Chains A and B, each alone.
Chain A
Amino acid sequence: MTPLTGYLLVAALLFAIGLAGALTRRNAILVLIGIELMLNAANLNLIAFWRYGPHPEALTGMMFAIFSIAVAAAEAAVGLGLVISIHRHLKTVDLDEMNRMKG
């Protein structure tokens, strides 16, 4: 097994774990955590391909990962703000009880 394969398999496993968390948990914050794990798995893929790719000095994969980290931080801030706002209206963060769009 080559080093790149190992990193890709770890990233696939992390993505699957994050997806399982996002699909099975009841708490909205833990769904967001699952989404963050999936984004991080994609970042690991980008960095691994940058490291073992043909032109690492072009910095393409590295830049993509850095911008992805920045966008994920913005997404986490807005997502958690939305969860707090929903909790204020409905007094719950249980996704199975959020079954209407009208506040």
Chain B
Amino acid sequence: MTLVFYILSAITVAGALAAVTLRNTVHCALAVSVAFAGLALLFLSLDAQFAGFAQILVYVGAVAILVVFAILLTRSSDESQRGVFSNTWIAGLVIAAAIFAVIGWAVLRSIPMLPQSAPAPAVTVQQIGTALVGRYVLPLEIVALLLTAALIGAVIVAMHEKEGAK
């Protein structure tokens, strides 16, 4: 456990907490991009360079911007009249705390079975590329199809309907 790990996890958890508790939705979007960037740095500290940079490109670059656009498009003035939390927030909080307690208990109980430490894996981006077009070529094609379908679907769903269409 190094100091870097503690700093990165503190940044990530603080960003996530701010994202789910702040009142202003734009602040929430900014906080969640901090959490995504912290996760990318955690990936880098786990020697997963490709996944870390993919995380930065996809989440900090694309998903955060998309969330900001959606928030600005759907903003209305009567946001804070009824509070930002739903009527059943106590039940949700209890469920989340119970899930965290169960997962944490399972992790702490399994410490003797977990590996103590491992040498850093020497994996190059070339190896990842070879694996993507070799062993994992079918999932790659399916993901390409899925992304195309999602692109078309998102455009169709969000597109303006014609006046006489309904």
- Chain A contacts to B: CB under 8 angstroms: 1-10, 12-27, 29-30, 32-34, 36-37, 40, 43-44, 47-48, 50-54, 56-57, 59, 62-63, 65-67, 69-78, 80-85, 87-88, 91-96
The answer to whether B67 touches A33, judged by C-beta atoms less than 8 angstroms apart, is yes
The answer to whether B99 touches A74, judged by C-beta atoms less than 8 angstroms apart, is no
Closest to B22 in A: A30
Which 9 residue pairs are nearest across A and B when measured between Cβ atoms?
A: A23-B92, A21-B20, A16-B100, A56-B121, A74-B150, A20-B96, A81-B154, A12-B103, A81-B158
Give the total number of A-B pairs whose CB atoms are below 8 A apart: 249
Chain A's interface: helix, strand, loop or mixed, by majority? Answer: helix
Closest to A34 in B: B20
The answer to whether A73 touches B58, judged by C-beta atoms less than 8 angstroms apart, is yes
The answer to whether A2 touches B62, judged by C-beta atoms less than 8 angstroms apart, is no
CA distance A54 to B27 in the complex (A): 41
Closest to A20 in B: B96
State the interface size on chain B (CB cutoff 8 A): 84
Chain B's interface: helix, strand, loop or mixed, by majority? Answer: helix
CA distance A77 to B97 in the complex (A): 29
Closest to B19 in A: A33
- Chain B contacts to A: CB under 8 angstroms: 1, 5, 9, 12-13, 16-17, 19-20, 25, 28-29, 32, 35-36, 39, 42-43, 46-48, 50-51, 54-55, 58-59, 62-63, 66-67, 69-71, 73-74, 76, 79, 82-89, 91-93, 95-97, 99-100, 103-104, 107-108, 111, 114-118, 121, 123, 127-128, 131-132, 136, 139, 143, 146-147, 149-151, 153-155, 157-158, 160
Contact residues in B for A10 (Cβ distance below 8 Å)? 9, 12-13, 42
CA distance A53 to B147 in the complex (A): 30
Contact residues in A for B157 (Cβ distance below 8 Å)? 78, 81-82, 84-85
